[in-house]
A and B are shown apart, each in its own frame.
Chain A
Amino acid sequence: MLGSLKGMFLTLTSAFRRPVTDQYPNKPRQLEDRFMGFPALTWDHNVGEPFCTSCMVCIRQCPTQCMSATMIDNPLQKEGKSHRRKIVDTFEINLNRCILCGICVEVCNFDAIVMSHEHEMSVYQRNDDRVDLIELLEMGKRYQEDTGWIPPSQRKKAEKEETAVEKASA
């Protein structure tokens, strides 16, 4: 008898504490910084073009082959505004195939792709889950605004300089 009474007492005490359940659609949970949502492309605000040069590294490394892209010569480079010789022309991700592994972000050499915080992406048709360059850039811009994203290579550079300054002062 004792075991069941103990259990009943426990359930009784738990009746008086605050619920732990989040009422999801009404009160969404705070997302973690590292939360991996669907991949998105970032926008270089300094130049006014995407970071992506369509080098195909992420496309070759994707375990599910969910992306495709094409590149063109960068018109802004001819005008002397940009240092990128090639630029992305089209980019498509099939979010139905994406498994959110983050490999594309790891292999990108240009900080061009991020795991955004987008995750509520219900659509009416299967094909609507194929997002093109414009949508991907929009998702990326939203992510950049929300999180104050700094390109990882720039951040690393700044950190290196900081440590160098520290060493010099020490």
Chain B
Amino acid sequence: MAVMAEPVAAHVKRSSLWTRAFESRNFLGAMFMVPAIAILILFLAYPLALGFWLGMTDAKIGGAGRYIGFQNFVSLSKDSVFWLSVFNTIFYTVAASAVKFAIGLYLALLLNERLPFKSIVRAIVLLPFVVPTVLSAIAFWWIYDSQFSIISWVLLKAGLITHYIDFLGDPWNARWSVVAANIWRGVPFVAITLLAGLQTISPSLYEAANLDGATNLQRFRHITLPMLSPIIAVVMTFSVLMTFTDFQLIYTITRGGPINATHLMATLSFQRAITGGNLGEGAAISNAMIPFLVAAILLSFFGLQRSRWQQGGRD
């Protein structure tokens, strides 16, 4: 390519080095990349590397740390709070993602029906995803209040419970409460992206299946699911990534309490590093999240590969 560009620039007019440089796609390409690359190296790649380093030091806020090897990880492996946060993170991710997928797919199928005011309905459905998480989490905080919870009030009036539920005071209640809040926020994302996938499935496939006498369930099983599987893989990888690294909901609703029952790895690393001042230890907890993230990304990568191959695309 560059070979083609050179002679043109040289023959058309004898121009200065500067103008010729601007005709070269490699030079021009590099110039165009400068703003993005500069920001990404300084504030993304460098901190990522610095994070690995910090995880192996005893750095405190306001003081450079010493290299201490894997000592942070050794002490974490004996730290029951850390293991509790690992358990919580996995529980939170698995429970929330599974329900988000089930409800999200169901909602996408419902929205794919012929509906009046379809675009307005779709716009409304997406609202929980658009509104700042922290601000909607404040509403959940109030909904889960131990004395003024509206859920408790309704259930009490309906005669289903005898006293107010302590949503955020009991470990398992608290875990399910934050999972519910996360599901509420994540379902719209899953539903709308899957809906976009559903809309690309050609109706003629369903018509053909109808003629062959397929039932609703068979059409779903043998047309919808296979056609949707590439996008499901990507959407769920994103969803798992976002849930696994969640911070805002927990920090707003429970701050990791009661007795660390809802601490995720992200909130624990914040607590140790910023609130507690032990940057090194916090960075080590963040680093411990990376293997899980890499696993999720690889899953997505191979999911994408498969979809490209199925569609006969290049790259």
Q: Do A and B assemble together?
A: no
